[in-house]
Amino acid sequence: MTTVEAKTGQLAWVYDLNKCIGCQTCSVACKVLWTRDEGEKHQWWCSVNTMPGLGTPKNWEEMGGGADPKTGKPRPGHQPTREEFGGGFDYNYYEVFYGGSAGKAHLEPQAPRENRWAMNWDEDQGAGEWPNSYFYYLPRMCNHCSNPVCVQACVTGALSKGENGLVLRDEEICMGDRFCMEACPYKKIYFNYDRHVAQQCIGCFPRIEAGVAPACVRQCPGRAVFIGYLDDAESAVHKLVKQWKIALPLHAEAGTGPNVYYVPPLSPYRLNEDMSIDYETPRIPPEYLESQFGPEVHDALSTLRSEMESVRNGGKSEMLSTLIAYKWQELLGPFTVDPATLTPSANGEA
């Protein structure tokens, strides 16, 4: 794999999927900071979807892209369309609030009903049949990959792997060619049709530079997201990813070396027809989790279960204490500065 050396260490995110409650606070924290301008209505640089699900853009897991894991060479992919991302709807606010309809008109997206789609459109649908239906929440953002095929596919040199290992775009240089959107296997790059540039998560770099954690991390009410330098042996992200190996990349087979990791979801056991518990069979099919997080998912879940068992029996576990995050500042790595102390520009305001 071709690896682009990060200039000052590689930042990594770890989302604990056992703590994510799908509240979209990370999504909204990001949205209000970075994507409120023209052409950004449909953009959700951070978004949470129910899995299994089609997600956003619709059916993104079938859109190709990524790199050959052996050679690092980029593989062709589909450029998600505006319709596949969906969302960014206008609503009939005037009609409802001022139109004199007195309760007869209801808020309705001003878009054709057929093929309507948006971020989180298939919320909580999941899979399986009652009483064994199942789902979990999956927050997604730019993976700030170590082998960023978006950078390789970019013609103009607008994209680069910069400080802190963040993949950043110079919007003055971007011509809106969108090869990056084709090449990205995670389909987390958006196109701004008004400004003719592609856009994606910037890792809240102005906050990082000021010692403040990214909005998605800082605002998470579930204490489910960690950030830190992957090679800092004292950091939570290092321990979760490298030491305990319980945080795994999503679709590592895409070959881009993603730097967003996930503690995979534990699963309740299946219920038999007589409602007795089948202790042998987890409700989320292990093969499904393997399709998401690779074969390492089985060991990761096994490690988690044995650690939980140990604590139930009176033992202590640094791993579980880390995941619980008794002090929420522990999630923030070195980025513990209060964002209220920031200048407006570092907080996403002009």
Partner 1 sequence: MRVEKVNEGVGLTDPSASGWSAVAPVTVSLAPVGLQAQPNEYIREAWKDRAYGQTPEAKLSAASDGQRLYVRVEWQDDAAPNREFQDAVGAVFPTNGTGAIATLGDAEKPVALWFWEHGRPSALRLISRGPGRFRKADGDELSALGTLKDGRWSVVFSGPASAAARGKIGLAVWNGSNDERAGLAAVSQEWLPLELD
- Measured from the CB atom, the residue of 183 and 297 that comes closer to partner 1 is 183
CA-CA distance, 152 to 2, in Å (whole number)?
10
CA-CA distance, 233 to 229, in Å (whole number)?
9
CA-CA distance, 184 to 305, in Å (whole number)?
34
CA-CA distance, 120 to 128, in Å (whole number)?
19
Q: How far is the CB of 172 from partner 1 (least distance, A)?
A: 7
- Measured from the CB atom, the residue of 157 and 221 that comes closer to partner 1 is 157
**Sign of the four-CA dihedral 214, 53, 186, 81:** negative
For position 149 contacting partner 1 by CB under 8 A, the verdict is yes
What does DSSP say about strands 47-51 and 248-249: parallel, antiparallel, or unpaired?
Answer: unpaired
Which of 29, 22, 23, 77 minimizes the C-alpha distance to 265?
A: 22
Strand, coil or helix: what is 35?
coil
Q: How far is the CB of 157 from partner 1 (least distance, A)?
A: 8
Q: How far is the CB of 72 from partner 1 (least distance, A)?
A: 10
Query: What are 135's two structure tokens?
Result: 């789902």
For the packed helices 296-312 and 286-293, what is the interaxial angle rounded to 10 degrees? 120
Phi, psi of 159 (to 5 degrees): -100, 145
- Measured from the CB atom, the residue of 81 and 133 that comes closer to partner 1 is 81
For position 311 contacting partner 1 by CB under 8 A, the verdict is no
Q: How far is the CB of 153 from partner 1 (least distance, A)?
A: 4
One symbol per residue from 66 to 85: x for binding partner 1 (CB under 8 A), - otherwise; what is it?
-------xxxx--x-xxx--
Hey, what long-range contacts does 317-325 have (CB within 8 A, 24 or more apart)? 318/239, 319/239, 319/240, 319/244, 319/246, 322/236, 322/239, 322/240, 323/16, 323/18, 323/19, 323/240, 323/263, 324/223, 325/223, 325/226
Task: Single out the segment in contact with partner 1 by CB under 8 A; choices: 94-102, 148-156, 307-315, 333-341.
Answer: 148-156
Phi, psi of 157 (to 5 degrees): 85, 15
- Measured from the CB atom, the residue of 17 and 174 that comes closer to partner 1 is 174
The identity of residue 196, as a single letter, is H
- Measured from the CB atom, the residue of 172 and 287 that comes closer to partner 1 is 172
- Residues in contact with partner 1, counted by CB under 8 A, come to a total of 26
Q: How far is the CB of 147 from partner 1 (least distance, A)?
A: 13
- Measured from the CB atom, the residue of 168 and 174 that comes closer to partner 1 is 174
For position 273 contacting partner 1 by CB under 8 A, the verdict is no
Site residues for partner 1, 155-214, by CB under 8 A, read: 155-157, 172-173, 175-179, 182-183, 191, 196
- Measured from the CB atom, the residue of 112 and 344 that comes closer to partner 1 is 112
Q: What Rg, from alpha-carbon coordinates, does the chain have?
A: 21
Task: Single out the segment in contact with partner 1 by CB under 8 A; choices: 120-128, 154-162, 241-249, 251-259.
Answer: 154-162
- Measured from the CB atom, the residue of 90 and 129 that comes closer to partner 1 is 90
Q: How far is the CB of 115 from partner 1 (least distance, A)?
A: 13
Of 10, 152, 199, 256, which one interacts with partner 1 (CB under 8 A)?
152
Where does this chain bind partner 1 (CB under 8 A)? 73-76, 79, 81-83, 149, 152-157, 172-173, 175-179, 182-183, 191, 196
